[in-house]
């Protein structure tokens, strides 16, 4: 490694090298220093925002010191690194996480208290970093936490959106979107104005033969946009390893603005270039499981991929190794198809810029990349129109055609004469206009392809990618079932439960080896333990009840059964099935005698989640939920027996309040549609049971925790196709209970029924694609079983303890170890434990 400071002057550096602070006094000193100097305030005007800022800066300084050491250690060791390319990182808040991961939360708590602040209030000042839509982005965030906690040399690469996912407001029952400008004050990032990459778009390709007769392609003209790096330190739990997430921000390459235009009075167009460039990283596309094919999105993808690869290649070239060693030093994981262009970009760098021949370059490319598929929904599988590509990335389109040609030639050799096969697997779809199929490109350009739960991985092997299994053989396709980080989703979100578990399992070790939870099995019938367990759940429900009261004005009874469905609103996730079930419950209660009502377990049905702004049906579902709540919540016949709540603006920090408070949560997608789901894991880990379909990771959760501890219902994935066929070509009679629900909606009981016509019509008249009617009876019956089971609190608590005890498998640490072994072939870089970390148990 080259150093800018000559050997004989390094002693001064070493003497004054930053050391991570550890004690309470040092923490307070740092906070006061930041208040007085960085923030230019004093004790007389230090409010909670300023205290948050100063505490965060104190932790940031600490993290960055460890970050520097980690980077040096990894550079010296020169071992293989992982680069995780994800267009979404749903990080949530950083301060609490940093305090817990470095083990100094108690120090900070006492220090803040001495300075006059409550730590909870300070934590609540932070704006969520919401650079993602839902499960895909949150998975990426959990993976970063695990990679750092397990000491893997690993970086995340993403985009630094100026606006994250929109904020959701509910106005008169409707979703309204409000921009999320989150960068006002973000102490967690480091702008690296010295790390910039110029990224080219548009232009044309000139081809010629050089003096040696070699074909040369030069991509020239067009426009240049500058990518600026922003680094965010990612602390591992109880380890000095602090990895990096590098996010790119776009700006004009041509300087600030056009002085000539400015001087001639053309003020508006003088800044136009700058604004156009900045648009690229301005806003996160708010679609979950939906591809829209917009040019700006493709621009985002290339901008991010080009900057990241330039950075990765630059780092590799410093080592002066031979190109053939690239895949021994670097593993790049593609989080869904969004970064697939990286495959083409690396091939372009190797053949056009570095002069390698095609085959040599292609071997390097395919050995470097792994691709994770996260969905089988056809509307979510990315395709880009060829004319769009031709205009924006002309050289890349040529390379894609070449990749496709060589690929199809190999298919032709393997399956001579099978023209249908060639048409089916071609990366270019022969439609009008032609389209580039990104998933196919990702498969062809990677050495491993994985799904995210067993059923999902089986489905991709037997349906959407079945031809590719024949072509490449089954070994290329594998499964890595998703997981979640127990640090955030247990220790941070549910500190009392974490503490109880620690007291019974010999400390916080379970946070690093989640299988230790198994030791809880022996307490499943322990009276004292169960009492404490139940008290914690109740306290978490009281906390949520308070939150509900303060945000919606509705009073809910914390002793009622809390039934929660929080996730993106999507027809396939079937929030409509849930709300129809709620209406059915409402009808049932109305028809009951007072005596009968006394026997019913009171229930609070809680919903939360955002609908993509253009997804009208999802917005209709939100509207219906809110209107049902407005009627039910003030019906004196119902009282506490049923409350319906829609929580506005569901996000990571709200999930940390909601998840520990569930008795039952709903994961009720049409079988075969939810690739994995991860909130199912979070809820069970926090001592809630689940009601769900045989879909995604629900199946493996059942296998782990036992079928007595889960409420499964509904049709199986293998029957879905036949059912849909019957709907369309046979008879389709609706479930009679569902008809009653629809009749009530149509009587304007929840406001003008016209507003819900499309929703009920999609089931009655348009084929019921998501099988709501087919599963309705089974759903209602299973909900009745939930009611019954909840009455026996003693057994219920035992079920929740046994479930938590068996959740070890769902740690994202297990996922990362599987990726490392099966896909990346990387090893962790061991660290000396005693590196000045304050360890708290
Ligand atoms: O819909 C899946 C979800 O089931 C899964 O848990 C998550 C993480 O693997 O990815 C989601 N997929 C997408 O958001 C788009 O492919």
Using one digit for the tens of pLDDT, what is the confidence trace for 96-113?
999 999 999 999 999 999
pLDDT at 265: 77
Pocket test for ligand 1, best of 378, 452, 669 (most atoms within 8 A of CB): 452
The answer, yes or no, to whether residue 841 has pLDDT greater than 50, is: no
Is residue 51 predicted with pLDDT exceeding 50?
yes
Annotated catalytic residue 505: no
pLDDT in tens, 557-576: 999 999 999 999 999 999 99
Residue 29: C-alpha distances to residues 22, 52, 111, 125, 773 (Å): 11, 15, 9, 21, 63
- CA-based diameter of the chain, in Å? 96
> In the numeric block, which tokens belong to residue 82?
């992982």
Residue with CA nearest ligand 1 atom 10: 136
Q: Is ligand 1 within 6 A of the CB of residue 678? A: yes
CB 104 within 8 A of CB 27: yes
Q: For the segment 785-794, what is each residue's pLDDT rounded down to a tens digit?
A: 999 999 999 9
Task: For residue 836, name the pLDDT band (cuts at 50, 70, 90).
Answer: very low
CA quadruple 401, 406, 407, 408: dihedral positive or negative? positive
Identify which of 120, 231, 242 has the alpha carbon closest to the alpha carbon of residue 186.
Answer: 231
Indicate whether 764 pLDDT > 60.
yes
Whether 364 contacts 447, CB under 8 Å: no
Other CB atoms within a 10 A radius of the CB of residue 656 amount to 18
% the chain with pLDDT above 70? 98
809-829: per-residue pLDDT in tens?
Answer: 999 999 999 999 999 999 999
- Split at pLDDT 50, 70, 90, the class of 18 is confident
374 given a catalytic annotation: yes
CA–CA gap between residue 381 and residue 613 (Å, rounded) = 19
> What's the first-to-final CA gap in the chain, in angstroms?
38
Mean pLDDT within 536-550: 98
Distance between CA atoms of residues 245 and 84, nearest Å: 9
Task: Decide if pLDDT at 391 tops 90.
Answer: yes
Distance (Å) from CA 286 to ligand 1 centroid: 14
Provide the pLDDT confidence category of residue 625 given band limits of 50, 70 and 90: very high
Element containing residue 33 per DSSP (H, E): helix 24-33
pLDDT of 2 reads 54
Task: Establish whether residue 451 lines the binding site of ligand 1, counting it when its CB lies within 6 angstroms of any ligand atom.
Answer: no
Tokens coding 644: 């319906």
| Cβ of 88 below 6 Å from ligand 1 | no
* Number of Cβ atoms within 10 Å of the Cβ of 201: 18
* φ and ψ at residue 451, rounded to 5 degrees: -95, 180
Cα 371 to middle of ligand 1, angstroms:
14
Question: What residue's CA is closest to ligand 1, atom 6?
Answer: 677
What count of other Cβ atoms lies within 10 Å of the Cβ of residue 792?
A: 11
Find where tokens 């493996």 sit: 700
If pLDDT is split at 50, 70 and 90, which confidence band does 837 have?
A: very low
- Cα 399 to Cα 395: distance, rounded to the nearest angstrom: 6
pLDDT at 289 over 50: yes
How are beta strands 81-85 and 154-159 bridged, if at all? parallel
Catalytic residue at 678?
yes
The pLDDT value recorded for residue 7 is 85
Q: Is the pLDDT of residue 838 over 50?
A: no
pLDDT the model gives residue 139: 98
pLDDT per residue as tens digits for the range 495-518 = 999 999 999 999 999 999 999 999
- Catalogue all structural domains in the chain, each as residue range(s) with its CATH number: 19-77+94-127 (no CATH), 78-93+129-402+437-479 (3.40.50.2000), 557-793 (3.40.50.2000)
b/e map of 600-611 (b: 16 or more CB within 10 Å)?
Answer: eebbbbbbbbbb
Residue with tokens 């779809």: 429
How much is the pLDDT for 833? 64
Ligand 1 centroid distance, CA of 200 (Å): 31
- Give the model confidence (pLDDT) of 52-74 as tens digits: 999 999 999 999 999 999 999 99
Q: How confident is the model at residue 255 (pLDDT cuts 50, 70, 90)?
A: low
Residue matched to tokens 């730590």: 119
Pocket lining: 96 vs ligand 1, CB cutoff 6 Å: no
Distance of CA 181 to the CA centre of its chain: 19
Query: Is 490 within 8 Å of 686 (Cβ atoms)?
Result: yes
Is residue 224 packed enough to be buried (19+ CB in 10 Å), middle (13-18) or exposed (0-12)? middle
Catalytic residue among 105, 568, 584, 585: 568
Distance CA 331, CA 341 (A): 16
Tokens linked to 173: 């029952």
The two beta strands, 477-479 and 242-252, are: unpaired
Per residue in 411-432, pLDDT (tens digit) is: 999 999 999 999 999 999 999 9
**Ligand 1 contacts CB of residue 139 (under 6 A):** yes
- Of residues 162, 537, 573, 619, which has the active-site annotation? 573
CA distance readout (Å), 214 to 20, 208, 404: 55, 8, 22
DSSP per-residue letters across 97-130: HHHHHTT-HHHHHHHHHHTT--HHHHHTTPPPEE
Q: Tell me the pLDDT tens digit for each residue of 713-749.
A: 999 999 999 999 999 998 889 999 999 999 999 999 9
Q: Cα–Cα distance between 535 and 541 in angstroms, integer? A: 10
How far, in Å, is the centroid of ligand 1 from the Cα of 677?
7
Q: What percent of the chain has pLDDT over 90?
A: 92
- 244: its two tokens: 């990096």
Question: In angstroms, rounded to a whole number, what is the distance separating the alpha carbons of residues 471 and 368?
Answer: 20
**Does any ligand 1 atom lie closer than 6 A to the CB of residue 231?**
no
What are the tokens at 705?
Answer: 């925790």
- Judge if the beta carbon of residue 374 lies within 6 A of ligand 1: yes
Q: Which of 374, 451, 700, 701 to mutate to test the pocket of ligand 1 (most atoms within 8 A of CB)?
A: 374
As a whole number, the mean pLDDT across the chain is 95
| pLDDT tens, position by position, 427-475 | 999 999 999 999 999 999 999 999 999 999 999 999 999 999 999 999 9
* 567 in catalytic set: yes
Instruction: Single out the residue of 130, 124, 100 nearest to residue 51, CA to CA.
Output: 124
Task: Calculate the alpha carbon distances from 42 to 28, 114, 187, 496, 632 in Å.
Answer: 14, 16, 19, 35, 51
Q: Which of 348, 374, 584, 610 is catalytic?
A: 374
Q: Where are the beta strands (DSSP E) in 116-241?
A: 129-131, 154-159, 167-171, 174-178, 190-201, 204-209, 215-220, 223-235
Q: What is the pLDDT of residue 577?
A: 98
Preceding amide of 338 cis, omega within 30: no
Give this complex's ipTM: 0.99
pLDDT of residue 840: 45
Cβ 382 under 6 angstroms from ligand 1: no
Pocket flag, ligand 1, residue 291 (CB < 6 Å): no
Other CB atoms within 10 A of residue 574 CB: 27
What's the burial of 744, exposed, middle or buried (CB within 10 Å: 0-12/13-18/19+)? buried
Distance CA 813, CA 486 (A): 9
């Amino acid at each position: 490694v080259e150093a800018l400071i000559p050997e004989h002057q390094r002693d001064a550096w070493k003497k004054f090298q930053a050391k991570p602070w550890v004690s309470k006094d040092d923490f307070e000193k740092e906070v006061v220093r930041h208040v007085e100097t960085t923030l230019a305030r004093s004790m007389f005007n230090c409010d909670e925002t300023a205290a948050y800022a100063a505490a965060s800066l104190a932790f940031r300084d600490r993290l960055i010191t460890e970050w520097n050491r980690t980077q040096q250690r990894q550079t010296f060791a020169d071992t293989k690194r992982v680069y995780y390319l994800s267009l979404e990182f749903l990080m949530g808040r950083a301060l609490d996480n940093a305090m817990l991961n470095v083990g100094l939360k108690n120090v900070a708590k006492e220090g803040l208290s001495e300075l006059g602040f409550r730590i909870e209030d300070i934590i609540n000042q932070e704006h969520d970093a919401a650079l993602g839509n839902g499960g895909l982005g949150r998975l990426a965030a959990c993976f970063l936490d695990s990679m750092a906690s397990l000491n893997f040399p690993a970086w995340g690469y993403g985009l630094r959106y100026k606006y994250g996912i929109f904020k959701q407001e509910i106005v008169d029952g409707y979703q309204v979107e409000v921009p999320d400008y989150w960068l006002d004050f973000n102490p967690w990032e480091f702008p690296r104005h010295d790390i910039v990459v110029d990224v080219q778009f548009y232009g044309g390709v000139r081809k010629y033969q050089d003096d040696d007769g070699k074909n040369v392609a030069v991509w020239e003209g067009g426009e240049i946009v500058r990518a600026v790096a922003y680094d965010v330190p990612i602390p591992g739990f109880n380890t000095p390893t602090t990895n990096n997430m590098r996010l790119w921000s776009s700006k004009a390459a041509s300087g600030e603005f056009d002085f000539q235009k400015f001087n001639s009075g053309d003020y508006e167009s003088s800044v136009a270039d700058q604004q156009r460039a900045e648009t690229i990283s301005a806003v996160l596309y708010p679609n979950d499981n939906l591809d829209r094919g917009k040019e700006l999105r493709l621009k985002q993808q290339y901008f991010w991929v080009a900057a990241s690869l330039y950075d990765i290649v630059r780092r590799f070239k410093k080592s002066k190794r031979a190109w053939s060693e690239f895949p021994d030093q670097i593993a790049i994981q593609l989080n869904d198809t969004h970064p697939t262009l990286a495959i083409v970009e690396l091939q372009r760098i190797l053949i056009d810029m570095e002069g390698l021949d095609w085959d040599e370059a292609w071997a390097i490319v395919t050995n470097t990349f792994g691709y994770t598929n996260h969905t089988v929904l056809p509307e979510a599988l990315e395709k880009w129109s060829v004319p769009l590509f031709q205009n924006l990335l002309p050289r890349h389109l040529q390379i894609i055609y070449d990749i496709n040609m060589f690929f199809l030639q190999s298919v032709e050799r393997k399956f001579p004469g099978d023209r249908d096969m060639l048409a089916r697997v071609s990366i270019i779809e022969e439609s009008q206009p032609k389209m580039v199929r990104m998933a196919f490109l990702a498969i062809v350009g990677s050495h491993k392809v994985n799904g995210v739960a067993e059923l999902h991985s089986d489905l991709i092997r037997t349906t959407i990618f079945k031809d590719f299994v024949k072509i490449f053989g089954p070994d290329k396709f594998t499964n890595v079932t998703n997981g979640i980080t127990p640090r955030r989703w247990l220790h941070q979100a549910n500190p009392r439960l974490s503490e109880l578990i620690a007291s019974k399992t010999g400390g916080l070790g379970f946070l690093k080896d989640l299988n230790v939870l198994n030791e809880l099995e022996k307490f499943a019938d322990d009276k004292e333990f169960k009492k404490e367990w139940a008290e914690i759940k109740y306290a978490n429900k009281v906390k949520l009840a308070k939150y509900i009261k303060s945000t919606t004005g509705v009073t809910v009874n914390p002793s009622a059964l809390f039934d929660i469905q929080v996730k993106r609103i999507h027809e396939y996730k079937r929030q409509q099935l849930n709300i129809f079930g709620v209406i059915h419950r409402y009808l049932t209660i109305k028809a009951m005698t007072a005596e009968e009502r006394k026997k019913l377990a009171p229930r609070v049905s809680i919903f939360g989640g955002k609908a993509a702004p253009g997804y009208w049906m999802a917005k209709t579902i939100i509207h219906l939920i809110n209107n049902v709540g407005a009627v039910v919540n003030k019906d004196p016949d119902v009282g506490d027996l049923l409350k319906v709540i829609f929580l506005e603006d569901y996000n990571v920090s709200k999930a940390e309040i909601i998840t520990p408070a569930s008795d039952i949560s709903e994961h009720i997608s049409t079988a075969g549609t939810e690739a994995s789901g991860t909130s199912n894991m979070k809820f069970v880990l926090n001592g809630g049971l689940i009601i769900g379909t045989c879909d995604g990771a629900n199946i493996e959760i059942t296998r782990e925790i036992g079928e007595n501890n889960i409420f499964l219902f509904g049709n199986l994935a293998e029957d879905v196709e036949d059912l849909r066929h019957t709907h369309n070509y046979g008879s389709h009679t609706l479930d009679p209970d569902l008809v009653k629900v629809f009749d009530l909606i149509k009587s304007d009981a929840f406001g003008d029924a016209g507003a819900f016509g499309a929703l009920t019509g999609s089931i009655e008249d348009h084929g019921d694609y998501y099988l709501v009617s087919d599963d309705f009876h089974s759903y209602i019956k299973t909900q009745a079983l939930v009611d019954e089971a909840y009455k026996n609190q003693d057994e219920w608590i035992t079920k929740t303890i046994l479930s938590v005890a068996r959740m070890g498998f769902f740690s994202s640490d297990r996922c990362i170890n599987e990726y490392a072994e099966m896909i990346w072939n990387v090893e962790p870089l061991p660290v000396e434990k005693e590196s000045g970390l304050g360890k708290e148990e």
